[in-house]
Structure 1
Amino acid sequence: MIEKNIIILDDHPIFLEGLKRLINNEPEFIVSDCCKNSRELFFSLSLAPANIALIDCSLPKGELNLKSLVEQLSFHYPNMNIVTMGDCHQQQQISTMLKPQIKSYFCKSLSPENWITGLRHISCHHCKSGQMILDDNVDVEILSMQRLSAKEKVVIEYLHAGLTVSQTALRLSRSVKTISSQKRAAMRKLGLNRDSEIFRLNMNKL
């Protein structure tokens, strides 16, 4: 397995350390460097280019604005995927306006599982054609790493409608064990961690 190098620009030490540990726990990723400002970022990239750059939208005072920073990164490192990170709707809107240079926006309050799911999605070649927004609202089109099977989709549709696993098993003439297994598989593919997240799915994108 070839590791994907990730470089991070963020001046919040606690968040930075936590994110670094989270990413380095995954065998397919490695954090090549953590930078506190754009000067450190460009110096590090000149030594070792990265596959993904995670950029905090809240840049320190005296820094380049986000638009200028993204333009310079896109010019010098056109093959690097730029992902912005933030914690408010305004930062998400700014990131959206800067596509296609910015490939994705991640909300900082994402669960650890969804951070990794999002990074895996960015690593796929098919992410390069557009931008995805990854926030606290589950979006099947974003989080789906694999397509659901027809049976898994039906199970999720019944659960989304409010039926229990037992009721779904009865409706589909299958065992509770089978429905539970298909439910777990579908939730894994969709990046869901809790049953309650099923009700937030956009079924039109399933």
Structure 2
Amino acid sequence: MEKVRVVVADDHPIVLMGVREMIERDENFEVVGEAHSSSELVALYRELRPAIAITDFNMPGDQTYGDGLKLIEYLLRNFPDTRILILTMLSTPLILSSLYDLGVSGVILKNGDLNEILVALKALAQGRVYRGPGMQSANSVLASKDDVDGRIASLSAKEYEVLRHFVSGMSVRDIALLLNRSVKTVSAQKVSAMRKLDVDTDQALLTFCVKANLFQ
């Protein structure tokens, strides 16, 4: 029987090695390529046309493909035949549910059991969407607005994306260029996120994100 072709993308070599070793335990799957950035991943898609791609959510990107939601949307739009399995440290319910809404076929948390990868791959190979134990909270956003989790859960996916890049050191103008949005739109999304998080200065915003471990 022909093996299912898989490509893996992550900017950490140790993660790549661990995922490859896990996949190679099952004779039904074959890792045909590895990528360390979004550009490399897109190149693998075009060259190899894999059946399944396992990719980190946060990766070094560029102005063409970016990473996060922008990269995922690009891959789903341009390579609809390849099923996407996200491997991530993110645990925010809104973002996890947003990934499924976009059309990814599965999400696995990096701090979970890597054996879950093979379970997910088998589900995807059978045409099913995979929701593992770590995804149970992805079905509902926290209701409380009085605690940190409640405030984070109130962020929209696009606001979260803007904050992630802002905390990494990018200016509003740089974020707008990267995400292909207007400066006015990005600025409004940042202000809206600050209001939801109940912070009123850039320093307070950075402090909140660090203390909440929002972007691990």
> TM-score, normalised on structure 1?
0.58
Contact 2:108 / 2:134 at 8 angstroms: preserved in 1?
A: no
Question: Structure 1 residue 132: deviation in Å?
Answer: 3.6
Instruction: Name the residue aligned to 1:124.
Output: 126
Aligned equivalents of 2:94, 2:88: Cα separation in 1: 10
Question: Structure 1 residue 136: deviation in Å?
Answer: 4.4
Contact 2:120 / 2:130 at 8 angstroms: preserved in 1?
A: no
Aligned equivalents of 2:19, 2:106: Cα separation in 1: 17
Residue of structure 1 aligned with 2:81, choices 79, 82, 88: 79
One-letter amino acid of the counterpart of residue 95, structure 2: I
Aligned equivalents of 2:30, 2:130: Cα separation in 1: 22
Using a 3 Å threshold, how does the CA distance of structure 1 residues 45 and 137 change in structure 2: closer, same or farther? closer
Matches within 5 A, 1:46-85: 46-60=46-60, 62=62, 64-85=66-87
Instruction: Name the residue aligned to 1:23.
Output: 23
Instruction: Name the residue aligned to 1:6.
Output: 6
Using a 3 Å threshold, how does the CA distance of structure 1 residues 40 and 61 change in structure 2: closer, same or farther? closer
Instruction: Name the residue aligned to 2:33.
Output: 33
Give ranges in structure 1 of 5+ residues lacking alignment.
Answer: 139-206
Supply the RMSD in Å over aligned alpha carbons: 2.3
> TM-score, normalised on structure 2?
0.56
Rg larger for: 1
Contact 1:109 / 1:136 at 8 angstroms: preserved in 2?
A: no
Deviation readout 1:92-142 (Å, 9 max, x if unpaired): 5324213242111111133243221121111112x1xxx44324479xxxx
Please say if 1:45 is aligned against 2:45: yes
Equivalent pairs counted in the alignment come to 134
Contact 1:106 / 1:135 at 8 angstroms: preserved in 2?
A: no
- Secondary structure of the 1:83 match is strand
Aligned equivalents of 1:49, 1:61: Cα separation in 2: 20
One-letter amino acid of the counterpart of residue 67, structure 1: L
Give ranges in structure 2 of 5+ residues lacking alignment.
Answer: 137-216
Deviation readout 1:1-36 (Å, 9 max, x if unpaired): 221111111001111101111101210001111100
One-letter amino acid of the counterpart of residue 21, structure 2: R
One-letter amino acid of the counterpart of residue 131, structure 2: I
- Secondary structure of the 1:89 match is coil
One-letter amino acid of the counterpart of residue 104, structure 1: G
- Secondary structure of the 2:115 match is helix
Aligned equivalents of 1:133, 1:30: Cα separation in 2: 22
Aligned equivalents of 1:93, 1:65: Cα separation in 2: 18
